[in-house]
Amino acid sequence: MGVLNTVLVPCLTDNYCVLLHEPDSGETAVIDASSAPNIKAALNERGWRLNHIIITHHHTDHTAGVADLKASYGAAVTGPEAEADRIPGLTRGVTASTKISLAGHPINVIETPGHTLGHVTYHFPDDAMAFTGDTLFSLGCGRVFEGDPQMMWNSLSKIAALPGDTSIFCGHEYTLNNARFAMSIEPENEALQARVAEVEALRASGKPTLPTTIDVEKATNPFLRPQSHAIRARLGLEGALDWQIFERLRHLKNKA
Ligand code: ZN
Ligand code: FE
């Protein structure tokens, strides 16, 4: 089994799509399809031809390029079965029990509802990488639009349970903004301080802050740290359940 190359493709204001390419077979996929022109340009630059479009959730900033890309390359469109009626051109709906792969690399579908009710995360166990769409961001998480806080916390917990060295590709470059909120919640966290310095340096030189890793996010992302005594004390919620800590953090971030 060959290596899977990854290319981050910035789209729209702050979205990322990711090209996946296996050189031996030439098989190529894109995770989310924000903008067809950007994705086509990234493919053309490398002489790659798109076979698969793989969608995390139905929002327009992740699907606007699907129709054009599908028509241009005849690519198959994979996405959550639960959002089949909201993802135009879907050819294969998936759930947690669907077995899929790319160029022989297995892909686990993890159902991560909350941001939208059908949102899925794609985990490539043999490649130690996962695509979390708008569920987990670096130092933050997506807004809970369609589900409820308990559901979203459950979804984040599934992602947090992946191996620590898993590379995490998120749907947006929100890290610097998220860093400000994280520092207001747990300023004494030294791992967070170090990550914020790294993020500031990366952004100052125009570089992406992604992918991140599960280990980094568990050490720094307040939304994955409801067990932190410092966070609980700051919120005045020492005895609360983890999802209730999450709910309060999400509420505070929405107002920030
Ligand atoms: Zn979204
Ligand atoms: Fe989005």
Query: For residue range 99-122, what is the model confidence (pLDDT) as tens digits?
Result: 999 999 999 999 999 999 999 999
Residue 61: give the domain boundaries: 5-255
Distance, CA 171 to ligand 1 centroid (Å)? 8
Q: Is 90 exceeded by the pLDDT of residue 256?
A: no
Neighbours of 18 (CB within 10 A): 22
Q: What share of the chain in percent tops pLDDT 90? A: 98
Q: Which ligand is nearest to the CA of 116?
A: 1
pLDDT digits (tens, 9 = 90+) for 125-175: 999 999 999 999 999 999 999 999 999 999 999 999 999 999 999 999 999
Q: Which ligand is nearest to the CA of 112?
A: 1
Total number of domains constituting the chain: 1
pLDDT digits (tens, 9 = 90+) for 185-229: 999 999 999 999 999 999 999 999 999 999 999 999 999 999 999
- The whole-model pTM stands at 0.98
Pair 169, 135: CB distance under 8 Å: no
Residues around ligand 2, an ion, CB closer than 5 A: 61, 134, 171
Task: Please list the alpha-helical segments (H only) found in the chain.
Answer: 36-46, 60-63, 66-73, 149-160, 175-185, 190-204, 214-220, 229-235, 242-255
Give the domain CATH number at 77. 3.60.15.10
Residues around ligand 1, an ion, CB closer than 5 A: 59, 134
Q: Is 80 exceeded by the pLDDT of residue 1?
A: no
Q: Is 90 exceeded by the pLDDT of residue 44?
A: yes
Distance, CA 24 to ligand 1 centroid (Å)? 33
How far is 167 from 6, CA to CA, in rounded Å? 11
